[in-house]
């Protein structure tokens, strides 16, 4: 009797897949034009959206029964997507591109597609034109398909926007973009498809820590990129038409941050915007609801708000300078609850409360890559000498945003070699031990990254 008892693990929440319009469109096209079993169609669907399914813990793909249930739901509710595909006998340009991807994936998986004889005659026309498209010499420009009846897509192109300048990571030009991880490599190795690795890279990309990742950032609204471009003498904004882009390579920053939010960063951003701390709770609550936490419980929100306040208190304006330079001079304050405070703490360009997307860049460019201009510190924030050093240490380390040609940053050794007796809690009185500890931490991080990437 005990052998037939199955233990249920109630600690892990059930898997819930959030369907997108493109995924529903693929399900309808698979069922309309092909008579394969739902299991075969599920294999094709899972390969097309493997990255998105992995983030929802469908590591072995989407079962065919779930696709079948979704198709019946769309039909019973008379969904506009289902009606458009099954009532129209012609193919739009977007649907043509989807079917082309279906055929390519089926060949890769060795799944023999069986045409649905009950569908309209445009399936035969598509098969002929797809063979012609495969033999076309130029893969970058779509070949003419005169026998295909293509209606103009009723939806407007999905436009996204990217700000970039000479300081941006990776390779950036008006026509080519390469992520920082691949900027100095001739060949781009395949990225690990493990969702944990992908989300880990995405979280590093969104944080304030500078590091090379396989992503470039895009925004779905032009406001933030335009504002950033106006603040830089060489700022540029590039517009992307994403109507035919593979959504499996598009990751929403909201999906990443709602699982592991950068709560201290929100506090620091609020401080930089000169927002009073009394409004931090309201701001953080709105951001949390915008991210749609999976478990929006009071205790989780409280932890999130505590993190926001923690980031807010790490830096505060100097009270004697508020009347003159409220946005320039800052005093570093040692938080007693966080002894490991950092002397250089720049706000990453990618942090924003707008909806932002990260696009996985896997296509290298043959053009010459520029040298990496990023130094060990953020180029937007530097340590500068505003007063005699002993007086400066007593008041706190001063930070000021300055143009790059006027920055004169101290090295870490210069900071620690000055008067070491001012620190009251003993955090800075042993610079050699502290430097060695930081070296050990970075060595461990390098080993973990090398293990993940398979170096």
Share of the chain above pLDDT 70, in %: 35
Mean pLDDT, the chain, integer: 60
Q: How does pLDDT run across 46-70, given as a tens digit for each residue? A: 888 887 777 666 767 778 888 888 8
Better pLDDT: 7 or 28: 28
- For residue 390, pLDDT over 80 is answered with no
User: Do residues 339 and 425 touch, judged by C-beta distance below 8 A?
Assistant: yes
- Rounded to whole angstroms, the Cα distance separating 47 from 62 reads 9
Instruction: Give the mean pLDDT of 8-22.
Output: 64
- Rounded to whole angstroms, the Cα distance separating 218 from 204 reads 16
Q: What residues contact residue 153 under an 8 Å CB cut-off, 6+ apart? A: 92, 93, 94, 243
Q: How many CA atoms lie within 13 A of 435 on its CB side?
A: 11
Instruction: Give the mean pLDDT of 217-226.
Output: 77
Better pLDDT: 318 or 16: 16
For the ranges 210-219, 376-385, 438-447, the lowest mean pLDDT is seen at: 376-385
- Band (pLDDT 50/70/90 cuts) for residue 178 is confident
- Looking at residue 455, what is its pLDDT? 52
- Band (pLDDT 50/70/90 cuts) for residue 148 is very low
Q: How does pLDDT run across 249-267, given as a tens digit for each residue? A: 676 666 666 566 555 566 6
- Cα angle: 141, vertex 22, 254; to 5 degrees: 105
- Looking at residue 47, what is its pLDDT? 86
- For residue 426, pLDDT over 60 is answered with no
- Rounded to whole angstroms, the Cα distance separating 123 from 102 reads 13
- Band (pLDDT 50/70/90 cuts) for residue 212 is confident
- Looking at residue 221, what is its pLDDT? 74
Instruction: Give the mean pLDDT of 333-353.
Output: 38
Q: What residues contact residue 313 under an 8 Å CB cut-off, 6+ apart? A: 267, 277, 333, 335
69-78, 181-190, 333-342: range with highest mean pLDDT: 69-78
- For residue 336, pLDDT over 50 is answered with no
Better pLDDT: 181 or 19: 19
279-288, 291-300, 394-403: range with highest mean pLDDT: 279-288
- Cα angle: 137, vertex 140, 141; to 5 degrees: 80
Query: pTM of the predicted model, to two decimals?
Result: 0.33
- Band (pLDDT 50/70/90 cuts) for residue 406 is very low
Instruction: Give the mean pLDDT of 302-319.
Output: 58
Q: What residues contact residue 403 under an 8 Å CB cut-off, 6+ apart? A: none
User: Do residues 155 and 14 touch, judged by C-beta distance below 8 A?
Assistant: no
Q: What residues contact residue 220 under an 8 Å CB cut-off, 6+ apart? A: 160, 161, 354, 355, 356, 357
Cβ neighbours around 395 below 10 Å, total:
14
127-136, 176-185, 372-381, 410-419: range with highest mean pLDDT: 176-185
Q: What SS3 string covers the chain?
A: CHHHCCCCCCCCCCCCCCCCHHHHHHHHHHHHHECCCHHHHHHHHHHHCHHHHHHCCCCCCCCHHHHHHHHHHHHHCCCHHHHHHHHCCCEEHHHHHHHHHHHHHHHHHCCCCCECCCCCCHHHHHHHHHHHHHCCCCCCCCCCCCCCCEECCCCCCCEEEEEECCCCCCEECCCCEECHHHCCCCCCCCCCCCHHHHHHHHHHHHCCCCCCCCEEEEECCCHHHHHHHHHCCCCEEEEEECCCCCHHHEEEHHHHHCCCCCHHHHHHHHHHCCCCHHHHHHHHHHHHHHHCCCCCCHHHHHHHHHHHHHHHHCEEECHHHCCCCCCCCEEECCCCCCCCCCCCCCCCCCCCCCCEEEEECCCCCCCCCCCCCCCCCCCCCEECCCCCHHHHHHHCCEEECCCHHHCCCCCHHHHHHCCCCCCCCCCCCCHHHHHHHHHHHHHHHHHHHHHHHCC
Q: What residues contact residue 346 under an 8 Å CB cut-off, 6+ apart? A: 208, 377, 378, 380, 381
Better pLDDT: 355 or 180: 180
- For residue 222, pLDDT over 50 is answered with yes
Better pLDDT: 51 or 426: 51
Phi, psi angle pair for 403, to nearest 5°:
-60, 155
- Band (pLDDT 50/70/90 cuts) for residue 311 is low
Instruction: Give the mean pLDDT of 81-106.
Output: 76
Phi, psi angle pair for 348, to nearest 5°:
-70, 145
User: Do residues 423 and 429 touch, judged by C-beta distance below 8 A?
Assistant: yes
- Band (pLDDT 50/70/90 cuts) for residue 213 is confident
Better pLDDT: 136 or 178: 178
Better pLDDT: 439 or 155: 439
- Looking at residue 278, what is its pLDDT? 65
Q: How many CA atoms lie within 13 A of 53 on its CB side?
A: 18
- Rounded to whole angstroms, the Cα distance separating 134 from 115 reads 19
- Rounded to whole angstroms, the Cα distance separating 163 from 218 reads 8
- Rounded to whole angstroms, the Cα distance separating 398 from 380 reads 14
Rounded to the nearest angstrom, the gap between the alpha carbon of residue 5 and the centroid of all alpha carbons in its chain is 43
Angle between helices 280-291 and 263-272 (to 10 degrees): 130
- Looking at residue 70, what is its pLDDT? 86
């Amino acid at each position: 009797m005990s052998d037939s008892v199955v233990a249920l693990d109630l600690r892990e929440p059930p898997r819930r897949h959030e369907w997108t319009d493109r995924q529903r469109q693929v399900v309808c096209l698979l069922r309309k034009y092909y008579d394969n079993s739902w299991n075969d169609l599920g294999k094709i669907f899972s390969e097309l959206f493997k990255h998105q399914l992995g983030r929802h813990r469908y590591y072995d793909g989407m079962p065919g029964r779930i696709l079948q249930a979704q198709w019946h739901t769309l039909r019973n509710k008379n969904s506009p997507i289902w009606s458009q595909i099954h009532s129209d006998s012609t193919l739009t340009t977007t649907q043509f591109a989807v079917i082309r991807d279906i055929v390519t994936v089926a060949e890769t998986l060795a799944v023999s597609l069986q045409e649905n004889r009950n569908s309209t005659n445009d399936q035969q026309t598509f098969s002929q034109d797809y063979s012609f498209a495969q033999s076309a010499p130029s893969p970058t420009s779509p070949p003419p398909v005169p026998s295909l009846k293509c209606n103009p897509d009723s939806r407007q192109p999905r436009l996204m926007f990217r700000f970039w300048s000479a300081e941006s990571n990776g390779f950036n030009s008006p026509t080519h973009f390469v992520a920082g991880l691949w900027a100095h490599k001739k060949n781009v190795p395949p990225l690990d498809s493990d969702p944990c690795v992908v989300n880990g890279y995405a979280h590093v990309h969104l944080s304030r820590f500078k590091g090379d990742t396989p992503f470039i950032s895009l925004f779905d609204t032009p406001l933030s990129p335009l504002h950033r471009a106006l603040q830089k003498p060489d700022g540029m904004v590039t517009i992307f038409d994403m109507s035919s882009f593979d959504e499996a390579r598009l990751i929403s920053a909201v999906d990443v941050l709602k699982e592991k939010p950068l709560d201290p960063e929100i506090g620091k951003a609020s401080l930089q915007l000169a927002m009073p701390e009394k409004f931090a709770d309201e701001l953080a609550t709105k951001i949390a609801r915008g991210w749609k936490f999976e478990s929006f419980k009071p205790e989780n929100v409280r932890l999130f708000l505590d993190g926001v306040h923690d980031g807010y208190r790490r830096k505060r304006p100097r009270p004697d300078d508020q009347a003159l330079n409220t946005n320039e001079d800052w005093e570093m304050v040692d938080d007693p609850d966080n002894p490991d405070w950092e002397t250089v703490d720049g706000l990453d360009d990618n942090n924003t409360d707008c909806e932002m997307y990260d696009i996985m860049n896997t296509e290298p460019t043959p053009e010459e890559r520029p040298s990496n201009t990023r130094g060990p510190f953020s180029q937007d924030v530097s340590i500068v000498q505003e007063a005699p050093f002993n007086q400066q240490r007593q008041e706190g380390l001063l930070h000021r945003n300055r143009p790059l040609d006027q920055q004169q940053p101290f090295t870490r050794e210069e900071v620690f070699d000055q008067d070491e007796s001012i620190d009251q809690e003993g955090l800075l009185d042993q610079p050699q031990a502290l430097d060695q500890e930081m070296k050990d931490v970075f060595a461990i991080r390098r080993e973990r990254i090398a293990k993940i990437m398979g170096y």
